[in-house]
Every structure is written in C-alpha cells, then in structure tokens.
Amino acid sequence: MAPHREGSEASVEAMVAQVEKHPISTILIIIEALPVVNKFQLIENPHSSFPKGVPWIHYHGAYKDITINLIWPGKDLTFGVDSVGTISASLVTYASIQALQPDLIINAGTAGGFKEKGAAIGDVFLVSHVAFHDRRIPIPVFDLYGVGLRQTYSTPNLLKALNLKTGKLSTGDSLDMSPHDEASIAANDATVKDMEGAAVAYVAELLKVPAIFVKAVTDIVDGEKPTAEEFLQNLAAVTATLEEVVTQVIDFISGKCLPEL
C-alpha cells in the first residue's frame, strides 16, 4: 500500500508540480523605478486589493502570453520620497503575493557594486544568493537567522541567454556602509549591495514563490566617489539599462515553464 500522506502536503506538491509543467502565466515585478510601465503599456489598477491609503501602486497588462503585474512601492506618506528599504519591500511583497498569486517574482532595482569583485557602473547582475548585512545577533543559530543567506531561484538558461553577470547580493537598510556593514558584506562574499533583495527573498520563501533578482549597478562602493553623489549621477542611465534587461528577461520567460529558465 502506498504510504499515507497528509492531504494538504500531497496537494501542495501536486500544485507545485502543476505550475512547473505549465508555461509561466503570471509574474510579479517588484521594482523601484517606473519606465517598465511604459515599455509594456501597463495600466494602473485603481481597484487593487491593497489596503486603502497605502502608497503601493499596482500596474498590470498582458504581454505575449504572460500577465505582468508590476508593483511600485510608491512615495512614503509622511516624507514624500520613494519607499525604499526592507520594511516597505517585505510588506509590498507579502500583500502582492496574497493578491496576485504569481508563478514567479522578479525583484529589479539598483545596487552598489564592489569593483574588487568585478562590478562596474551599468552592469546588470542576476543574483545567485541574497543575505542581510545589518542584522547582527551574536547568539548561536540566531547569527545565521540574522544573516538569512538564501539561494535565489536558479535560472542557468536565462543567465546564459542574456549574458548577465552573476554574484551574491547583500541587503541592508542604509545607502552608506558602516565598518560593521563592510565586515558583514565581506563575510557574505557580496558583489552587489542593495536595500530590498533579501527581504523580498524572505517573503517569497515564506509563501513558496520562486524569486529572481535583477540588480543594476549605480555606484561603486569601494571606489573614490561619495556613494550618494555617484548614485544620483548614474541613476537615469542605469535605470534605462535596467528597463532593457527586464524586458529581455520577460521575453525569455515568455512561453517557458519554470524549470526551463
């Protein structure tokens, strides 16, 4: 007799297997910039199921055989600037997955790069692993929980087809880098540094949605120029590059099943 399994366990497995066998139909893009909206002629959903009053904006549309959902975290309600960082990213990711049940998440955005690890301005990385660099808990096992190292959903064919660079991403809630952060980033073996990726990965894992991370380098962290100045100087050009690569990623995904990526 076949071993008895709990119904819910069997049905989750069956669902995952189903999704893996069918072409990807719904994607969720969590992105810090908006040009992709115009590129795919996405329209704002005025009836999103997000709580009333949150700044998160849901754009959607169809491209080839894929339903594209793009969530822009929007402007902070108090300070009027873009909502960056892990708190906003976690909430947006959670609410978006609940609302949209995507087959795949693409977190796209800017990052600082380390030239010592091979990063240059304008490079776009398809991230292999994510971890945090500002959650230091020096107690056994809590230390590992704080760092939260996670492998991203593996997409070797996508990496090869688009000829992107790959490397590890380290996430923290600061644009600058304190000496403590620097040591943790080195321990994480990171090539790029951002303010959202590991938080998106945490929620994606929690809710069992595969996630990939496309990060474009606006500033060189181990370079000569002050980070904020270099970031602002390169933001427009690098955002255009990011848009191009996200378009190529969507084109590649179109018509494919998850294991083909």
Annotated catalytic residue, options 134, 181, 219, 243: 219
Which one of 66-74, 120-128, 160-168, 216-224 is the stretch in contact with ligand ADE (CB under 6 A)? 216-224
219 catalytic per annotation:
yes
Is the CB of residue 199 less than 8 Å from the CB of residue 105? Answer: no
Among 136, 231, 244, 251, binds ligand ADE (CB under 6 A): 231
Q: Cα–Cα distance between 196 and 102 in angstroms, integer?
A: 19
Question: In terms of CB distance, is 162 or 175 closer to ligand ADE?
Answer: 175
Which one of 61-69, 126-134, 187-195, 252-260 is the stretch in contact with ligand ADE (CB under 6 A)? 187-195
6 catalytic per annotation:
no
Residues within window 112-131 making contact with ligand ADE, judged by CB under 6 A = 112
Is the CB of residue 207 less than 8 Å from the CB of residue 94? Answer: yes
Using CB under 6 A as the binding criterion, the count of chain residues that bind ligand ADE stands at: 12
Q: How many CB atoms lie within 10 A of CB 33?
A: 20
**Minimum separation from the CB atom of position 107 to ligand ADE (A):** 13
Q: Is 194 in the site for ligand ADE (CB under 6 A)?
A: yes
Q: Is 188 in the site for ligand ADE (CB under 6 A)?
A: no
| SS3 at position 106 | strand
Residues within window 94-113 making contact with ligand ADE, judged by CB under 6 A = 110-112
Among 54, 162, 175, 186, binds ligand ADE (CB under 6 A): 175
Alpha helices in the chain (DSSP H): 7-21, 35-39, 86-100, 142-147, 156-162, 179-187, 197-206, 227-253
CA angle, residues 17, 249, 156, in degrees to nearest 5: 60
Q: For residue 223, how far is the Cα from the chain centroid?
A: 25
H or E stretch covering 196:
none
**Which positions are annotated as active-site residues?**
32, 219
Q: Contact residues for ligand ADE (CB under 6 A)?
A: 110-112, 175, 193-195, 218-219, 221, 227, 231
